[in-house]
């Protein structure tokens, strides 16, 4: 058995950052309570803060666990174009204005359509559009054939997007620069793995392309 | 600790921002921000004194924010807070100018100690700036005594060139106020926030003046046990005043010329080229053109220095200013010695008509002595004539044969008697005490000894000062 120590170190660093912030609030308020114990409003606020932050830590852990509790999927052929279009249309109207998808030919893939829907939703809704003003997302599909697998490419461009590291960007809590919670790319990677698909990253100047091979 | 300082908390975690605000709002005016890319704009628009900065922020990382603060020379004390134990981040943050670094979750007390130290530092800086401003204010042109046409012309010329970095050469007799004009040039210019340094080229030995000007490296010569930063470097971006520049040796003149031309030099014994942006104000009590003719001053250096010449008139050539000087020095020394001396009109007219070979310095000296020694409320012409006559006598005679008026003890008609040092010291002490009305503090100050030393001597010689202002 071989363990990638560097990967584990990175994982621990990422996770500790997510946990240390709520711990800072908990510890800070607990210390202040020693001085302000007679201020009933403050006592109530401290109670609320401690509970909220404990729940935040708990929810981060649960979100990771939930992925591992996903039901096993039945592999079947489905029309990917319909699933992709449906996923995009169910997203926030303001956000989906930044997304372009123009299927050129029918795309039939094997796997779990719910996984594909979730992946597209993550890429659309999970991206931090506020921090990356000017960014747009374009989706393209290729039907495959002649030895090539069917594929979907999701490309972010139009903003100052610095490079991602392929060997680390899919780790939990690794990417907070472009995504909201840092778990988005990990979830996508996980879904691809469970669905029998592969995902790779292509950095090309200011554009970042994720290619999923079905 | 309650302060008026403004503190900005930059963290993307709402809980952390809220907690820090609750912790610090009783001591500071607190504001919060949740993105890295808006911090710089916020720092530039509002006067933020302290920034608590998380390293992981959306939009721009904390390290990039620190780097931008450093490059933009934004004046703010930064305390970095981070969830990461990474020593590399800590080192990078400190190198980029962070004041301190805390790892989450931290003790409130640790943060408060850091902020207390920052506040002390800011208080000191503010005090230094205030003092610097006060010093600078005293050298504003409007506060310099000079309403005579010649002085007004000088101020007018200087105001035109003050922010141009051009070298200024001040020519004037001794005691005309060359250094004051040099300081006025500095404190009225855009260099006033930077150092003003001066070197009197006539008092420093020629073999040491190079080190004074340019500094030296450790081991450059015997006695150079540490590196010394020279005045050119210390005064970079500020002003260096070279008084009595005619006293520089020809070798040193050549070195000075090179620095003026190239704006760079090497320390004595060093190899590193040091670039400086130092404004030079030079002064001489002799016309340098005469020295050039005598081959005692380099012509090329003369032309390099004489970009803006200023000829300070002697006091006798600006008689309109004498009453103003009298008024100024009278106020100054009455305040210093807690006196209320006035000078009558006849005396003022006399002083105004006097030749003043020692110029303003001599006038100041006379007024000071008048305030110190006068026992009357108003000084008259006779007292002033007496003081001036004594001065003229002293200048032309050996000092040991003459004593200041009112202070006896060295009468050349007395037979020469051998006495012990203690006897001489005791007699001198008693006489000085009598002259300063048995005021121990004033007497000590003029004898240039501390009060403690004074008391020890009184005890030694068993001199008792009674309340009726007499000694026994």
- ipTM for this model: 0.72
Rg of chain A in Å (alpha carbons): 21
For the beta sheet containing A207-213, the strands, ordered from the edge strand earlier in sequence to the opposite edge, are A99-101, A136-142, A151-157, A207-213, A198-204
pLDDT of residue B204: 85
Residues from chain A that touch B37, judged by Cβ atoms under 8 A, are 131
Pairing of strands B215-216, B228-229: antiparallel
Chain A residues bordering chain B (beta-carbon distance below 8 Å): 13, 16-29, 31-32, 42, 45, 49, 52-53, 56, 128, 131, 176-177
User: E strand or H helix at A19, and its extent?
Assistant: helix A5-36
Counting one residue from A and one from B, how many pairs have CB atoms under 8 Å apart? Answer: 72
Give me B360's structure tokens. 């303003």
Residue B325 CA: distances (Å) to CA of A105, B332, B358, B383? 98, 10, 14, 18
| Beta carbons within 10 angstroms of residue B223's beta carbon | 9
Bridge partners, B215 (sequence order): B229
pLDDT of residue B10: 96
Q: Does B13 touch chain A (CB under 8 A)?
A: yes
Determine contact, residues B62/B55, Cβ cutoff 8 Å: yes
pLDDT of residue B412: 47
Residues from chain B that touch A13, judged by Cβ atoms under 8 A, are 84, 86
- Spatial neighbors of B167 by CB under 8 A, at least 6 apart, are B260, B279, B280, B281, B282, B304, B305, B306, B307, B308
pLDDT of residue A174: 82
pLDDT digits (tens, 9 = 90+) for B132-148: 788 888 888 778 888 88
Which of B58, B84, B108 lies closest to A176 in CB terms? B58
Determine contact, residues A172/A11, Cβ cutoff 8 Å: yes
User: E strand or H helix at A151, and its extent?
Assistant: strand A151-157
One digit per residue, the tens of pLDDT, for chain A of length 214 reads: 667 788 888 888 888 888 999 999 999 999 999 888 899 999 999 999 999 999 989 988 888 888 887 776 667 888 889 899 999 988 888 888 889 897 877 788 888 898 999 999 999 998 888 777 788 999 998 887 777 788 899 999 887 777 787 878 888 888 777 888 888 999 999 899 888 899 998 887 778 899 999 8
pLDDT of residue B417: 58
Which of B15, B22, B108 lies closest to A53 in CB terms? B15
Judged by CB atoms closer than 8 Å, whether chains meet at B108 and A24 is answered as: no
Give the distance from residue B113's alpha carbon to the nearest chain A alpha carbon, in angstroms: 15
Determine contact, residues B433/B465, Cβ cutoff 8 Å: yes
pLDDT of residue B227: 87
Chain B residues 76-105 within an 8 A CB cutoff of chain A: 81, 83-86, 104-105
d(CA B241, CA B178): 10
pLDDT of residue B331: 92
pLDDT of residue B405: 43
Could you write out the three-class secondary structure of chain B? CCCCCEEEEECCCHHHHHHHHHHHCCCCEEEEECCCCCHHHHHHHCCCCEEEEECCCCCCCHHHHHHHHHHCCCCCEEEEEECCCCHHHHHHHHHCCCCEEEECCCCHHHHHHHHHHHHHHHHHHHHHHHHHHHHHHHCCHHHCCCCCHHHHHHHHHHHHHCCCCCCEEEECCCCCCHHHHHHHHHHCCCCCCCCEEEEECCCCCHHHHHHHHHEECCCCCCCCCCCEECHHHHCCCCEEEEECHHHCCHHHHHHHHHHHHHCEECCECCCCCEECCCEEEEEECCCHHHHHHCCCCCHHHHHHHCCEEEECCCHHHHHHHHHHHHHHHHHHHHHHCCCCCEECHHHHHHHHHCCCCCHHHHHHHHHHHHHHHCCCCEECHHHHHHHHHHHHHHHHCCHHHCCCCCCCCCCCCCCCCCCCHHHHHHHHHHHHHHHCCCCHHHHHHHHCCCHHHHHHHHHHCCCCEECCCEEC
Residues from chain A that touch B62, judged by Cβ atoms under 8 A, are none
Which residues of chain B have a pLDDT value below 70? Answer: 393-419, 466-472
pLDDT of residue B419: 67
d(CA A105, CA A143): 7
Q: Chain-centre distance of CA B463, in angstroms?
A: 40
Residue in A closest to B111 by C-alpha: A28
pLDDT of residue B238: 93
d(CA B243, CA B212): 13
Residue in A closest to B61 by C-alpha: A177
For the beta sheet containing B308-311, the strands, ordered from the edge strand earlier in sequence to the opposite edge, are B196-200, B239-243, B279-284, B168-171, B308-311
Which of B16, B59, B85 lies closest to A25 in CB terms? B16
Give the distance from residue A131's alpha carbon to the nearest chain B alpha carbon, in angstroms: 5
Q: Name which of B195, B190, B288 is nearest B247 in CA terms.
A: B288
pTM over cut 0.80 = no
d(CA A120, CA A9): 29
Give me B17's structure tokens. 């921002």
pLDDT of residue A29: 94
Q: Does B44 touch chain A (CB under 8 A)?
A: no
């Amino acid at each position: 058995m071989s363990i990638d120590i560097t990967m584990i170190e990175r994982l621990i660093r990422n996770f500790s950052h997510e946990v240390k912030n709520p711990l800072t609030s908990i510890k800070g308020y607990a210390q202040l309570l020693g001085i302000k114990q007679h201020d009933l409003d403050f006592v109530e606020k401290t109670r609320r803060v401690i509970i909220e932050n404990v729940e935040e830590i708990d929810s981060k852990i649960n979100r990771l666990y939930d992925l591992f509790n996903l039901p096993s999927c039945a592999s079947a052929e489905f029309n990917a174009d319909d699933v992709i279009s449906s996923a995009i249309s169910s997203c926030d109207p303001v956000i989906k204005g930044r997304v372009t998808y123009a299927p050129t030919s029918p795309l039939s893939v094997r796997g779990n359509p719910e996984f594909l829907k979730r992946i597209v939703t993550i890429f659309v809704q999970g991206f931090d559009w506020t921090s990356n003003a000017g960014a747009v997302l374009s989706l393209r599909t290729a039907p495959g054939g002649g030895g090539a697998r069917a594929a979907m490419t999701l490309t972010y461009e139009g903003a100052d997007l610095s490079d991602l590291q392929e060997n680390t960007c899919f780790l939990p809590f690794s990417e907070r620069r472009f995504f909201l919670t840092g778990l988005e790319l990990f979830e996508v990677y996980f879904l691809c793995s469970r669905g029998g698909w592969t995902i790779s990253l292509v950095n090309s100047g200011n554009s970042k392309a994720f290619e999923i091979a079905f | 600790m309650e302060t008026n300082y403004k503190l900005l908390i930059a963290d993307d975690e709402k809980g952390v921002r809220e907690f820090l605000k609750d912790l610090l709002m009783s001591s500071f005016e607190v504001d919060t921000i949740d993105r890295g890319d808006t911090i710089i704009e916020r720092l530039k628009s509002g006067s933020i004194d302290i920034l608590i900065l998380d390293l992981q922020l959306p939009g721009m990382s904390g390290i990039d924010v620190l780097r931008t603060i450093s490059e933009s020379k934004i004046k703010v004390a930064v305390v970095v807070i981070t969830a990461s134990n990474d020593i590399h981040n800590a080192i990078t943050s400190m190198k980029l100018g962070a004041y301190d670094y805390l790892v989450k979750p931290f003790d409130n007390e640790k943060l408060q100690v850091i902020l207390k130290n920052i506040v002390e530092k800011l208080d000191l800086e503010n005090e230094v700036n205030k003092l610097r401003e006060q010093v600078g204010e005293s050298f504003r042109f409007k506060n310099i005594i000079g309403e005579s046409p010649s002085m007004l012309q000088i101020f007018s010329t200087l105001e035109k060139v003050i922010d141009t970095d051009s070298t200024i050469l001040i020519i004037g007799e001794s005691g005309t106020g060359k250094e004051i004009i040099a300081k006025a040039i500095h404190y009225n210019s855009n260099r006033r926030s930077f150092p003003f340094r001066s070197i009197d080229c006539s008092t420093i030995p020629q073999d040491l003046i190079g080190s004074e000007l340019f500094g030296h490296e450790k081991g450059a010569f015997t006695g150079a046990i540490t590196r010394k930063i020279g005045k050119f470097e210390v005064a970079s971006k500020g002003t260096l005043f070279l008084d009595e520049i005619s006293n520089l040796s020809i070798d040193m003149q050549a070195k000075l010329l090179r620095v003026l031309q190239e704006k760079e030099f090497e320390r004595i014994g060093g190899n590193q080229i040091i670039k400086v942006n130092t404004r030079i104000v030079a002064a001489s009590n002799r016309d340098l053109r005469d020295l050039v003719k005598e081959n005692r001053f380099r012509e090329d250096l003369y032309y390099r220095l004489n970009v803006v010449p200023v000829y300070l008139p002697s006091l006798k050539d600006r008689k309109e200013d004498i009453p103003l000087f009298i008024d100024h020095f009278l106020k100054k020394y009455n305040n210093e010695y807690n006196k209320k001396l006035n000078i009558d009109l006849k005396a003022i007219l006399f002083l105004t008509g006097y030749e003043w070979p020692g110029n303003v310095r001599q006038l100041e000296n006379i007024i000071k002595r008048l305030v110190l020694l006068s026992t009357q409320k108003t000084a008259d012409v006779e007292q002033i004539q007496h003081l001036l006559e004594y001065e003229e006598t002293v200048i032309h005679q050996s000092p040991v044969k003459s004593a200041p008026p009112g202070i006896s003890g060295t009468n050349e008609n007395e037979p020469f008697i051998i006495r012990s040092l203690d006897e001489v010291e005791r007699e001198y002490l008693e006489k000085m005490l009598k002259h300063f009305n048995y005021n121990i503090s004033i007497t000590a100050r003029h004898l240039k000894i501390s009060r403690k030393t004074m008391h020890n001597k009184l005890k030694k010689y068993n001199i008792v000062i009674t309340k009726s202002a007499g000694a026994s």
